[in-house]
Structure 1
Amino acid sequence: MLTLSLVIIIVTCIISITAFSRPGEMDKLSMWPYMVKEHNQYYRFITAGLVHADYMHLGFNMLTMWFFGKYIEIMFQQIFGGKLYFLLFYVLALIISDIPSYIRHRNNYSYRSIGASGAVSAVVFAFILFQPWAKIIVFVIPMPAILYGVLFLGYSVYMSRRGGDGINHDAHFWGAVFGVVFPLALKPQLAGYFMEQISSLWR
């Protein structure tokens, strides 16, 4: 069955792989805050999520999308009553996760950022909202999704302040936050459901 999440994976893989051998294309699509500011190239907030640094970067993001995307797509359709909510969620996650980077680096000509990590983080954290105690595997270590979420946010904040590794940790953090905020904004009752799930461990 061709789901929206699968379509996103296919399109992202095609564009990313095509751009691997075309550095100029990568520059045209990347999140380049300076060019957004100086030339109003706002499309970059979306196209940056369609290109990746290499096969490992692409594979990690798209495998994560494969594992979590279909579930969130189904949940959104059941809760909000339409398939397009997931597409809206993903596109907004791409945009919003890059806004802090744009603000921070809009005067830095040399700064560029690529990858769908912000939107993929949003998908993972939406999953955590629905299934906080689900077991997920992190580098062969099984742990509750909620624990992974806490560790991920803490690590993202730490690495954002430290810097120097070429990874846009701000996009990871704000994408994750958006993954929780978006469904709660549309249906605040989900907060009660989340708390019920959290407290169920001690019942």
Structure 2
Amino acid sequence: MTLTLIIIVITSAITWYAWNVNPQAQAWGMLRPYYVFRQDRWYQLLSAGFLHANLTHLLFNMITLFFFGPVVERTLGAGYFIGLYLAGLVLSNIPSLFRHRDNPKFASLGASGAVGAVLFVFIYFFPMAPIYLFFIPIGIPAAVFGAVFIGYSFWAHKKANDQINHEAHIAGAVTGLLYVMIIVPRGIDHLLTLLGII
């Protein structure tokens, strides 16, 4: 069993448990920056990534991870892959943590930051690979998809009229790219090769 599948099973099981067995786990596990700082709930930087608001939220994240995770896992190796995923979970929450530290009403949950980190590592290594969306019958080059995704996330974050934590998506993407260029051995070599430097 791949690490990707293990993560999907664990995340789905914890989410289901919070929905159906112990709803209080959702309340205590989601990221609430106000309480992180005042009650030392630092675990929420990690626990929030194993909880989801609804079935659509869970399926979107886990299906994306299912398609891109195994490729990235094989590319990086199991150890670096789990490091990437955990870094994505924690670091993607940092902007929200500080921006909403004085807002007791703000809460965030979901694995989107970590999934975004995995997705953008895929884009980093396979920029011309086609990515297919449900409503578009032709493949979009991964690099183009990534650029559109980041552009949309910035725009949606500025509008801030939905319940989606778009800054976590951006932070997850940045985390993935920095992780592979700084932490993964020879990860930066791929970028230098693409740029024709080596």
TM-score between both structures, scaled by the size of structure 1: 0.90
Partner of 1:80: none
Deviation, structure 1 residue 196: 4.2
Contact 2:88 2:175 in 1 (8 A): yes
Tell me the SS of whatever aligns to 1:137.
strand
- 1:179 pairs with one of 158, 176, 180: 176
SS, match of residue 93 in structure 2: helix
1:34 matched residue in structure 2: 34
Q: CA deviation at 1:190?
A: 3.5
Match of residue 87 from structure 1:
82
CA distance in 1, matches of 2:56, 2:170: 21
Question: What letter matches 1:107 in structure 2?
Answer: D
Amino acid in structure 1 at the alignment position of 2:24: G
The whole-number CA distance in structure 1 between the counterparts of 2:42 and 2:83 is 17
Match of 1:60 in 2: 60
Compared CA separation, residues 88 and 74, structure 1 to 2 (3 A): same
Task: Percent identity, please.
Answer: 39
SS of the residue aligned with 2:149? helix
The equivalent position to 2:114 in structure 1, one of 115, 119, 128, is 119
- Residue of structure 2 in register with 1:11 after alignment: 10
Aligned to 2:91: 96
**Kept in 2: contact 1:36–1:42 (CA 8 A):** yes
Which residue is equivalent to 1:72?
A: 72
Letter in 1 for 2:44: R
What amino acid is aligned across from residue 115 of structure 1 in structure 2?
Answer: G
| Rounded Cα–Cα distance in structure 1 between residues aligned with 2:195 and 2:69 | 22
SS of 2:103 mapped into structure 1? coil
Following TM superposition, by how much is the alpha carbon of 1:192 offset from its aligned partner in structure 2, in angstroms? 4.3
After TM superposition, the score normalised by the length of structure 2 is 0.92
- Give 1:71's aligned amino acid: V
Q: SS where residue 136 of structure 1 aligns?
A: strand
Q: Counterpart of 2:156?
A: 159
- CA deviation string 1:129-167 (max 9, x = no partner): 000000001233220000000001111111111102010
Unaligned runs of 5+ in 2: none
RMSD: 1.6
Equivalent position of 2:144 in the other structure:
147
In structure 1, C-alpha distance between the alignment counterparts of 2:184 and 2:83, rounded to whole Å: 15
